[in-house]
Structure 1
Amino acid sequence: MPTISMFYGIVIQMFWADHAPPHFHALYAEFEALINIQTLEVIRGRLPNRALWLVLEWANLHRDELLKDWELCEKTQMPEKISPLV
Structure 2
Amino acid sequence: MPTISMFYGILVLMYFRDNRRHHLPHIHVRYQGQEAAVSIEDGAVLDGVLPPKQLKMVQAWIEIHKEELLVDWELAVNGEDPFRIAPLQ
**What interval of TM-score do these two structures reach, taking the shorter chain for normalisation?**
over 0.9
Structure 2 distance, partners of 1:36, 1:51, is 15
Q: Secondary structure of 2:28's partner?
A: strand
* Backbone CA RMSD of aligned residues: 0.6
Provide the residue aligned with 1:44 in structure 2: 47
1:62 paired to 2:75 = no
Aligned residues: 86
Kindly provide the amino acid, as one letter, of the partner of residue 60 in structure 2.
E
**What's the offset of the Cα at 1:74?**
1.0
User: Structure 1 unaligned runs (5+)?
Assistant: none
What aligned pairs does 1:66-85 form with structure 2 within 5 A after superposition? 66-85=69-88
**% identical aligned pairs:** 44
- Please give the TM-score of this superposition, normalised by the length of structure 1: 0.97
User: Structure 2 unaligned runs (5+)?
Assistant: none
Kindly provide the amino acid, as one letter, of the partner of residue 43 in structure 2.
L
- Please give the TM-score of this superposition, normalised by the length of structure 2: 0.94
